[in-house]
Structures are given as C-alpha cells and as structure tokens.
Amino acid sequence: MNMDTKTYKKFAKAHAPKSPCLKNCVCAFLIGGAICAFAQLLNSVYGQYLSMSREDAGTLTSVTLIFIAVMLTGFGVFDRIAKYAGGGTLLPITGFANSVASPAIDAKSEGFILGVGAKIFTVAGPVILYGTAASVVWGVIYWACKALGCV
C-alpha cells in the first residue's frame, strides 16, 4: 500500500481510538490532587507532631514521597495507578522517582554494573544533565548581573 503523508495521516486518524479527554483530565486532577493532599498531610505531621522545622519537614516529605513512589514502582502498583491517573502521577517528585526506578528495575537481570548502573539514568539522565547545565548558566548570568549592579 503506497500512500502520501496526507493520506496516511487521514487513515491513521480514522483508525485511532478516541481518547476520553474529559474523563482523563478528571482522573489526573483527582489522583494528582490526592497525591498533593497526602504530601501536605505528611508535611503537617512532620512539622506539627514531630516538631520539625519547616525546611526539615519539607525535606522529609520529599524523601518519603520518593521512597513510596519507588516502592510502588518496584511492586508494579505505580504503573497501574498511572494507567488511570495519567498526568496526575507525573508530579515532579513521584514521576521523577518512577522514571529513575523503572529502567533500573527492568535492567536488574543484566547485573548491577551493566544493568542497573548503566540503565538507571536513561530517562532521568537528560533531565539531570540539562537541569544542572541550565542552573550553571543562570547562575553565571545572575552573578554577572549582580557584579554589574543590575540586580
């Protein structure tokens, strides 16, 4: 079957399953909101009941969310939640933890060095690399502006 790009796009669109956009948005909102509410609850428990400073409570909340996301990824639960929540599970901490843990778990059978060690940052690596590079560039710009009296 030989067809041009325009015809192929029309064919693909006609045969693609329709996505229930409103349902997907509501699920993402509700589950993402539930994750955020849970994080706020953790933050309040750490701050008020354990008498931690605001910074320490925030740090421990982030670490707890990362731990839970990695554990759920390891047990295969995170993927089932993400199937229904879509973008709601991609909150920065939980989504990033899942993106680091998933390739490492998948490559476990190849060994710790060539499997886990080599694959752990395949998804998150570019985020870390370009995030670090961007922070250096903005740091230099800020330093230069401060040295010149712009800030």
pLDDT tens per residue, range 44-92: 999 999 999 999 999 999 999 999 999 999 999 999 999 889 888 887 7
Whether 13 is covered by a domain: the verdict is: no
Cβ-based neighbours of 20, under 8 Å, separated by 6 or more: none
Is the pLDDT assigned to residue 100 strictly greater than 90? no
Q: How far is the C-alpha of 5 from the C-alpha of 7, rounded, in Å?
A: 6
Our count of domains for the chain comes to: 1
95 neighbors 89 (Cβ within 8 angstroms):
yes
pLDDT confidence of residue 1: 61
Residue 91, domain member (yes or no) = yes
The answer to pTM > 0.85 is: no
Structural domain of 65: 21-120
Q: Per-residue pLDDT for 102 more than 90?
A: no
Give the per-residue pLDDT at 43. 97
Instruction: Determine, yes or no, domain membership for 114.
Output: yes
Asked whether residue 103 is domain-assigned, the answer is yes
- Assigned domain for 135 exists: no
Task: Give the DSSP letter of residue 50.
Answer: S
Whether 48 is in a domain gets the answer: yes
**In 10 A of CB 61, how many CB atoms?**
22
